[in-house]
Amino acid sequence: MKEYSSFEILGPIMVGPSSSHTAGACKIARVAAKICPKNYENVEFYLHGSFSYTYKGHGTDRALLGGIMGFKTYDSSIRDAYEIAKERGVKYSFIPTNLGEEYHPNTVKIKFNYKDGSSEYVIGSSIGGGNMVIVDINGIKVEFDGKFPTFLFQYNEQKGVIAEVSTALADDNYNIESINTTKDELTNIVTLTVELDENANENLKNKLLNNSRYLTSKYVEV
C-alpha cells in the first residue's frame, strides 16, 4: 500500500478553493514583491493559461493582490484583498494574455511600474499543491521555488565569479543549498542562482550585492 504524506492528504494551509489558483498564486506574488523595488506606482498582472479564464472564480485575483501586499497563503485578509488594496492606495490591473507555449498553464507575469517610467517584472508558475516556481526575472531565465533564501546575479561571462561568491559564503560560515548557472549564448550573459540554508546577514548582503562586476544583483529572503 502506498504511503501518503500529511501534505498530500490535507494540502497546504491556505485561504481559497484551489491550491494552484490561490495558494500558488499568492506565493508567486509575495516573492515577486520581495524581488522588485517596493516603491512602485502600479502593478499589472498578466494572466496566462487557465489563470486567464478562472482567476475571478478561483480567487486568483485576490491571492495575487494579497501576495504583493505581503499576505501569506493562510492569511484571512486575502478575502478582503480588494478592499485593503484600496485602503493602501495600491493601483493594479488584471490582463488576460498568452505568454507563449513555453509556460505552464498556471502562469502570471507581474509587472511593477515606477514613477520614473521604468519597470521590473517577474514571471512565475503555480505547479500544483500550492507550490510555485519563478522562471523569469526581467528577462533573466531562472528556476527557483522561493523555499530558501536566494541570491541572484547576472553578469558578463568572466572567470572567478562563482569562486568569489563561494568564498564569501564560506568566510561567513554559510552553507550552500544549491548553486546553478545559465548562460545566454547570444549575449554571453550568465545568471547565477545561489540558495542558502539560512537567511543572509547584512554584512554578507552588502558584500555580495554591492559589486560592480554584476549587471544585476538581488537577494530574496524567505
CATH number, position 69: 3.30.1330.90
> CA-to-CA distance for 193 and 144, rounded, in angstroms?
8
User: Would 145 be classed as within a structural domain?
Assistant: no
Q: What is the pLDDT of residue 62?
A: 95
Lookup: cell for 54: 478562472
CA-angle at 41, arms to 36 and 137, nearest 5°: 25
CA 33 from centre of chain: 7
> CA-to-CA distance for 22 and 34, rounded, in angstroms?
19
Give the pLDDT confidence of 210-220 residue by residue, as tens digits: 999 999 899 98
Lookup: cell for 117: 517610467
Give the pLDDT confidence of 172-221 residue by residue, as tens digits: 999 999 999 988 888 999 999 999 999 999 999 999 999 999 998 999 88
Q: Are residues 131 and 165 in the same domain?
A: no
Only one residue has cell 484583498, namely 81
Per-residue pLDDT at 8 exceeds 80: no
Only one residue has cell 561568491, namely 165
The pTM of this model reads 0.81
Per-residue pLDDT at 1 exceeds 60: no
Full residue range of the structural domain in which residue 211 is found: 150-220
Q: Are residues 63 and 122 in the same domain?
A: yes
Q: What is the pLDDT of residue 145?
A: 84
User: Would 143 be classed as within a structural domain?
Assistant: no
Q: Are residues 20 and 112 in the same domain?
A: yes
What is the number of alpha carbons within 13 Å of residue 84 lying toward its C-beta? 17
Percentages helix, strand, coil for the chain (3-state, rounded to 5) are 30, 35, 35
Mean pLDDT of all residues in the chain? Answer: 88
Q: Are residues 106 and 157 in the same domain?
A: no
